[in-house]
Amino acid sequence: MDQARQLMRAQQVKETMNTAANHAAHGWFRFDRVPRNTSTEASVSGRASSLPANCWVLGDDHDVVVVDAPGEPETIVAAVGDRRVTAVICTQGGRAHTAAAVDVAWALCAPVLLHPADHALWEETHDESLYWRLEHGQRIAVAGEELHVVHTPSATAGSVSLHFPRLKALFTGDALGDSSEPSGPHPTPYRGLALLSDLPSDTRVYPGRGDSFLFGEVFLPTDRWVRRSA
């Protein structure tokens, strides 16, 4: 019976990994978005949106980080498979992005990282469950790459973005909205996002909801100059 369960579990893991949407590959390094059942989104996030919060698994065949865990912990754990998880990183503390964070971290023997400015939001969902502090300027190594933590207090006081400079990739949570919102170039709407103003225009943004877009498609160089001069 135990062997049958193990075989069934292995098949579930294989099917989940095969359905994970691979959004970019940089040599051995991959950005995979974990598939989500959108019918459960309203009960998890409390937000009237057709776009569920994204969960990303970033790394290679051996080491990864998980970015946001909005729900369905079994699906996230299956997508990770037998890879080592450096951390479960929360781009903000709201339930829409962290509902499954504790369960996923426990199952994968990994720490949860969260900016302490969102402690109150975290407590609303997870009470006194512990997390590790995530700070502006922190650097986290994964699979031979390094992500830089940028505090972008826009959607929430503790919102962060995760920047891979060498890969020209930025994971923003809800800091820049989702891919359904940008309709053309416009200035950065939040003061906290000025820290992103000097990023190359060909940096690809992976938002907390929806599909990726290029930074330069949304923010014009002239807008960046105005913000620096203000």
Query: What's 205's domain CATH number?
Result: 3.60.15.10
Among 206, 224, 184, CA closest to 67: 206
In tens, the pLDDT along 66-78 reads 999 999 999 999 9
- Statement: the pTM of the whole predicted model exceeds 0.75: yes
Q: Give the Å distances, CA to CA, from 13 to 25, 75, 83, 206.
A: 21, 8, 12, 25
pLDDT at 40 over 50: no
Q: What is the rounded average pLDDT of the residues 192-211?
A: 86
Among 86, 92, 104, CA closest to 34: 104
Q: What is the rounded average pLDDT of the residues 202-220?
A: 87
Burial of residue 201, with CB atoms counted within 10 A of its CB: 0-12 exposed, 13-18 middle, 19 or more buried: middle
The encoded tokens of residue 209 equal 């909801």
**Could you please report the per-residue DSSP string of 68-112?**
---S-HHHHHHHHTT-EEEEEE-SSSSHHHHTTHHHHHHHHT--E
- Is residue 217 included in any domain, yes or no? yes
- Is residue 44 included in any domain, yes or no? no
- Is residue 148 included in any domain, yes or no? yes
- Is residue 3 included in any domain, yes or no? no
- Is residue 164 included in any domain, yes or no? yes
Separation CA 62–CA 197 (nearest Å)? 33
- Is residue 1 included in any domain, yes or no? no
pLDDT band at residue 28 using 50, 70 and 90 as cut-offs: confident
Burial of residue 98, with CB atoms counted within 10 A of its CB: 0-12 exposed, 13-18 middle, 19 or more buried: buried
- Is residue 2 included in any domain, yes or no? no
In tens, the pLDDT along 167-191 reads 999 999 998 876 544 444 444 445 5
Total domain count, the chain: 1
- Is residue 118 included in any domain, yes or no? yes
Percent of the chain with pLDDT over 90: 60
Range of the domain at 58: 8-35+52-229
Among 41, 134, 148, CA closest to 92: 134
